Structure formats: C-alpha cells, structure tokens
Structure 1
Amino acid sequence: MALELFPSSKAKWKNKISNSDPERSFNDIWPKIMIRRAESFEHLESFKKALETYQELINKNFFDDKIMQGKRRCQDFINPPPVKKSMPVKKKTTTTSPATKKQNLTASSSNSPISVDSTSEIKKRELENAKLALYDKVFEKISSWKDGKDDDIRHLLANLSSLLTWCNWKDVSMQDLVMPKRVKVTYMKAVAKTHPDKIPESLSLENKMIAENIFSTLSIAWDKFKLQNDIN
C-alpha cells in the first residue's frame, strides 16, 4: 500500500518526494491516496472500512463533494433507511365529531416515538454540510497565515494573532522567538488555546475549524523543530 511508503514521522511528510514531477510532498498526496483507498474498500463492499477512511479525511478537514457523497453511500449501505410501507385505507363506518377527531390527533401526536438515531444522523449531516460551506473561507485564512511556510514554527507563532481572535492571545514577534526555549513556551501556549479538548463549546463553527487547523499545523511544525534543535 502506498501509505506504507510514507515516513514514520509525520514531521517528514512536509519533505518533497524525490523525482516527483511536479514536485510534491507526502502531505500533498495523502488525501488522494486516502480517497482511492476508500473507493477500493467500497468496490470490495467493505463499507465499514470505507466509511472509516472517509471519516478520517473529514476529521483532517478534507470534505469536498466526492468525500461527503462517499461517506453517505457507505452510511446508507451500513444502515439502510427504513422503507415506508403504505397502509391500506380502511373504510369508515362511523362518523366522528370534529372535537373527537382533534382529541385523537393530539393523543396520536404525543404518543408518536421519536427516532433518536435519525435525529442524530440529521444533525451530523447538517454539521458536515455547514463545514463544507465554510471550507473555502477557512482554507483561505489558514493559507494566508501559513504563507507557504507550513513547517516554520517561528513564522507560524509570530502571525497567530491574525487568527486567534476569540481569546486573549499575546502577540509575539520573530525577535521574541530567537531562543528555542522561548519557541517552546509560545508553542505550548498556542496549543493550549487550540487543542480540541480546550476549545469552548460556544465558539463558532468557523473558529472551531480554524483552531483545529492551527493545532494540527503547529503540531507538525513543532515535531520538525524538535528534531532540528534536539529538544525532548
């Protein structure tokens, strides 16, 4: 499998692949490989594995139409939607007063069971669609922040103030980040603000997506920085 050829350390995924034309990194080709992997599982009718692969892509903020449609296909195969059967209409032999009809209708509505699974699935799909609608906007902001320097942790930390608008983030300059120890302290503060478990529930979906991107980008850049500076 192509993924087995990837470096074990994700910090090296930013490295350019030798003899690639056009020049690409492992990070560049990862989404395409994962999509092909998911489609292969679908062809083999291994829908659970395909669904897990699509979900992994979504968790990494890759959710274009192809991925979302693939996920829904797998979900429909694993949990087929119930088929509604038409009930035969019985001929009424007695008349019912309007007041009685209203009472019966109210009682029937109050006793109707609510499908928790259906409600949960609807909410999931609504969230995925909302993320998809925000993808371009978030991608543009993250790309502007990175400015082509995905693995330069000093650059990333020095420009965080443009993104961390929902918290009290103290701006730092490149001069403040000359010493590796200072970089480490600032990095730890940044991940504390963007870690998935630390993000406030009240935060908007757009800012949650931005925080997730910041966290993953900084984590990769930090791994590389540690190797370069022999930091444990």
Structure 2
Amino acid sequence: MGKITAGSTRGRRAPYGFARQRMLAVAGVAGTALLMGGLTACTDEGDTPQRDTSASESPATDDADDADDAEGSDEAAETDDADADQADSGDDSGGTFAIGETAVYENIGLKVTLSDPEVLEPQEEWDEFGGEGYTAYTFTVVLENTGDEHYDGDMTVFQARAGDDGVEAPQVFSFEQLGNGSMGSVLPGKKSTNKIAFDVPDDADSLTVEFMELSDWDSESAFWTHEF
C-alpha cells in the first residue's frame, strides 16, 4: 500500500498545557490503580480482547443459487468450524486486529473499533506535528458500551509504534482538529466517537496502535496494525 502523503506531544504550543495535564492525569490514574492493588478490576483474571464477528454475518441466499452455493457452503462450514475451534481454544485474535476490526472486552462490557488513518495536516504556523521526516495520521475511535453501567472513556490509553523496530510514534494533541482529548462517559448501549493521532516517521512501513483499558488493571491490550 502506498504512503499516504501530506503529528509526541507535537501539538500546538498553546494547548501544550492541556496535553501535559492529560498525560499527567493518565499517569495519576495508573498510579492509583497500582496503589489500590487492582481493587477496581472487573475480574480477577482480567479481560482478553476478542474479535467481533457479529458484523460479518450475512443473510441466507435465495434458493435460485442453491446449486452454485452448495460447494461454497461446504467450504464456509469448514471455515466456521475452524474459527469455532480457534475461539474455543481462547486464541481467537491473540489481541491483534486489522484496522477496521472491533476488539470486544466481554467482562468489561466494551467494544473498541479503529478506523483507517487519514493524514492530519498542520493548519497553524505553530503546529509542530508533521514536520520534516514525519507525517501525522489521525484515526477515528469508536467506543461502544455493552455493559449495564456508564463507562468512563478516559480510562483508556492509546500509544503507537512504527516500523519493524517499533520506534515510538508520539501522540499528537491538537484542540482545533482533534478536540480536547477526552473520550468522555458512554452510557449503556451507546457509543462515543473520537479521534486520536500520531506523528509517524516517513520511512516507516507500518504503524501498530496499542489500546489499554485501565479500569480493569489485569485486562490485556488490543493491537491494530496499519501497513503503509
């Protein structure tokens, strides 16, 4: 896939204070969780993110295509059986997902989806992201609360690494283009749509975004990888 042409807190200088406060707040949350010994955890064993397959289910086809579909149905059945065996083994996704796929945290009651990235262009002279040797990319994040209580979206942390060497891709904060950086609270059965962005070295051929959920300290991370 070709490089998308056109962002670390390489944000605007003016809101840098907010970005710093945001990072300090996250660090404070993590420190509190450690001091409490995981008392806020939803489960003792944590939650392993699984791939959401519900959206990929398709309706049955018409009888007119039965003859052509018979062979394909057998192959699909074999694939479904294999998928079921893999799910039973507890290794459905291994916490790794393709861009656009949804990570499901059953115990927490949370679904997380990451969209294809788009280039984030500097728009003000003081915008520091997307400088020489870097391109800033923004992702749309959808949090869906499948639980019975409101979910605190600010108990989530995203970070990214670029290329085979896993070089840090600093997170970008831009109030004008990305908002105030808060995921907010999500009511039961509702969704929250937000944007995150990272400054990526131009020579990187991939970017892996890691999602961490802090309310269940033992829950595992979910990873999405985009190939440039």
Structure-2-length-normalised TM-score = 0.24
Which has the bigger relative contact order, CA under 8 A and spacing at least 6?
Answer: 2
Structure-1-length-normalised TM-score = 0.24
> Which has the larger Rg?
1
Between structures 1 and 2, the one with greater helix share:
1
